[in-house]
């Protein structure tokens, strides 16, 4: 299997996106060189970064780029991440609410599964919080990442009811 990656500056900060020929398989919230992958902006990576930029500017509420989490997650993690993908833009659920929804009694197990999310933002684990008073962790509990989680939640709440209408008279300059 061939893997491709590219690093992008986004409104959220530098991000490295990783894909195979068919799907987005990894997101890192920093600029990295990925060992064993070719630095190349494949059409899939281009679509993914375009969708991410649309999200950052409030023009997209969910992602439809093909994603594959099967390489790096357990069955339990897949179950958690599949459920988390259904949490609507602008809303949050607590770890215990997610646990109960998937038939598990452990909020901590859900937290550990989310910690392993290979596609943060694309699979919106930032929408899962500890409680009204506790935001919970985010990607290794790095203080910058927890700040990012708070900012993403605030951004989504602010833009939850916003609709984006594409201009009807737009002409692509490359056509």
Tokens of 52: 């991410």
Q: Which of 50, 56, 104, 125 is catalytic?
A: 125
CB 126 within 8 Å of CB 153: yes
Model confidence pLDDT, tens digit, residues 130-140: 876 677 777 75
125 is catalytic: yes
pLDDT reading at 122 higher than 90: yes
Q: Write out pLDDT tens, residues 80-94.
A: 999 999 999 999 999
pLDDT digits (tens, 9 = 90+) for 39-87: 998 999 999 999 999 998 888 999 999 999 887 779 999 999 999 999 9
User: Phi/psi of residue 169, each to 5°?
Assistant: -105, 15
Taken in order of first residue, the domains within the chain and their CATH numbers are 4-56 (no CATH), 75-159 (1.10.10.10)
pLDDT on residue 110: 95
CB atoms within 10 A of CB 88: 13
Cβ atoms 158, 144 nearer than 8 A: no
Those residues with Cβ within 8 angstroms of residue 127's Cβ, 6 or more apart along the chain or in another chain: 84, 87, 91, 92, 93, 153, 156
Place of tokens 């195979």: 20
Please, are residues 138 and 146 in contact by the beta-carbon 8 Å criterion?
yes
> 0.75 cut: is pTM over it?
yes
Would you place residue 109 in the very low, low, confident or very high pLDDT band (cuts 50, 70, 90)? very high
Cβ atoms of 5 and 16 within 8 Å: the answer is yes
The one-character DSSP state at 116 is: T
Q: Which three-class secondary structure state does DSSP give residue 112?
A: helix
């Amino acid at each position: 299997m061939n893997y491709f990656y590219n690093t992008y500056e986004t409104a959220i900060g530098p991000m490295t996106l990783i894909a195979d020929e068919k799907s987005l398989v990894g997101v890192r919230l920093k600029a990295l060189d990925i060992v064993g992958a070719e630095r190349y902006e494949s059409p899939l990576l281009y679509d993914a970064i375009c969708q991410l930029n649309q999200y950052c500017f409030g023009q997209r509420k969910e992602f439809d780029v093909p994603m594959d989490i099967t390489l790096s997650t357990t069955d339990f993690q897949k179950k958690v991440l599949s459920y988390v993908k259904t949490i609507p833009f602008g809303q949050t659920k607590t770890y215990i609410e997610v646990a109960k929804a998937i038939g598990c009694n452990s909020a901590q197990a859900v937290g550990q599964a989310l910690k392993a999310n290979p596609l943060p933002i694309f699979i919106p684990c930032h929408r899962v919080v500890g409680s009204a008073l506790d935001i919970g962790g985010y990607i290794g509990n790095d203080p910058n990442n927890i700040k990012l989680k708070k900012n993403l939640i605030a951004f989504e709440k602010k833009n939850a009811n916003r609709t984006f209408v594409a201009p009807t008279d737009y002409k692509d300059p490359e056509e």
